[in-house]
Structure 1
Amino acid sequence: MIKLSARPTRRTVLGGFAAAAGTSLLAACQRELPAAPQSPAGSPATLRVVTLDPFSTHNLLDFGLSPVGAQEGLDQAVFPEHRETYAGLPKIGSYFEPDFEAIAALNPELILASSGQAEFRDRLAALAPTTLITAESSSTWPKAAEEVAAATGRQAEHDRLRTAYLERCEEIKARHGYALGRHTWAVAWLATAEGFSVRPTESNGAQVLALAGVRFGRLTEQNDTGKDIVLSWEEADRIADADVICLPGRTDGSKDPTTELALDQAAFQALPAVRAGRVAIFNHITPGSYRNATALADELDTYLTSL
């Protein structure tokens, strides 16, 4: 029996967002939010911004504007070129527990947070103008990138990265049409002792793969909920028609423990794709910005070349 994943609780909503790749499901705050305040006046190059969520942190670093403070916990998810910068930033608490005193001490001119952090909006707005970036799910990462650019005056940087991403996906589709046409895929993650999840086509990583020409197996294609499907290990054969199975890595090159757990399961090892050695471990499978998405496309290109 296929089980749809339950609505995440306040403490589990990040799922693999920070741990697996930095930009996972943020299924919080579905209600309508007040209009975001205008960005403060001044030079975007010198704007003092604090970022409290992964989308904002990843995108701001991509746009070349280092925040003066950022949420903790993205060490294994931040883009490799930004790792040293991120490590040196003052940390202002976690996603669910911002450190308001630390934020105030940084004298920010703008605070970027997530729509999943709406409960903190009034307290944050008392410290500095605050913009809540759309994070209804992992699928909203392109909208989040646009909103971060608009709030910080980095539209040109946004447009350049978006164009490079779109062109890269088109290049892969044209170059690997034969391999893409022969194989179907499934994106699995969040393995536990009980089972694992299969990502929907709307999820952030699956969006990138699809734009580059990847086709998905029946379970993914027939899932019209927009949510992960949770399978027990006894149900692993529901993705047996997938010719390639994708699992998460980490941007720092370390092994993702959920991927290692999946690879150790007899039911997973029995899948035709696994027996044939067609397991793709992508470090950027949960992108939260155009740099991450382009890096995922690069990983796909490399894998297709060897397929």
Structure 2
Amino acid sequence: MTPRPRRRGAMRSQQRLLFWAFLVPGLVYLVGIRLAPAAITLFLGFTDWNLVRNPVPRFVGLQNYLNIVEDGPFLAAMGRSVLFSLLATTIELVLGFAIALFMSREMRGRTPLRAVLLMPMVITPAVVGLIWYVLFHNAIGPLNWALSLLGIPAVDWLGDPVLAFLAVLMTDIWHWTPFMFLLSLSALQTVPGELYEAAEVDGASPWQSFRLITLPMVREALIVACILRGIEAFEIFAEPFVMTGGGPGRATETVSLHIYKSAFTFFDMGFAGAQIAVCVILVGALYSVYLRHVRYD
């Protein structure tokens, strides 16, 4: 008969083996896919490594970061991304919250309609960019075809700097308004119905109920939604890459697309690494605001 301590030891060994069997794949992903590339990128930011000129990285200290201050295209791309993020987040919040208010009412077919409204959110960004590239195409696009039926000349949506920026903005709004709708609807469903009943008894108008009950109850959730969506909008890459390639000129060149071109068009890996580090710091500062709201809520 096997002694009990030996049996317990064997069970503990099996538990440890099972523990590491589940842990190792996650560690490999975390180190190999997340931490290692991040560390290499941070290191490259302190080097002069152009794949065409310098086969080996050369340490230059903070020179790349000093060059960023004088890099007009990068600063312009940064400002463009900030503007895009503010516009996209604001419009998506207003539309998403308005749709959530409408869909929170009792109505026939509400469940399938919600599923339809959420469909754009599950499509990958590259596919979304391709869909809207076809829609905005000046020769074969359905939008210009519809305009031709009204006797309106074709519009070069992706060839005009202002229209191209608006086209990418419209694409992002279509893609991510469902995200704001989903978060807004979730927040609205947490508001107790008794509050509205009490307000109605007290003679409050619908606008007063909205202003004094709905908005205060969902405000924190909407702030968190705006922070999350703002970060994602600032990092937008796939849609402008597929639709315009950053053009015409640099009209739709976001900071992510600018960094991509620095690394894989001009092969300036060191300068691209420094740009990534600056963007990570800015996004991290915004993300810290999000964590503060989550912690205090």
TM-score by length of 1: 0.22
Q: Per residue, is there more helix in 1 or in 2?
A: 2
Greater relative contact order (Cα < 8 A, sep 6+): 2
Q: Per residue, is there more strand in 1 or in 2?
A: 1
Q: Which protein shows a greater Rg?
A: 2
TM-score by length of 2: 0.22
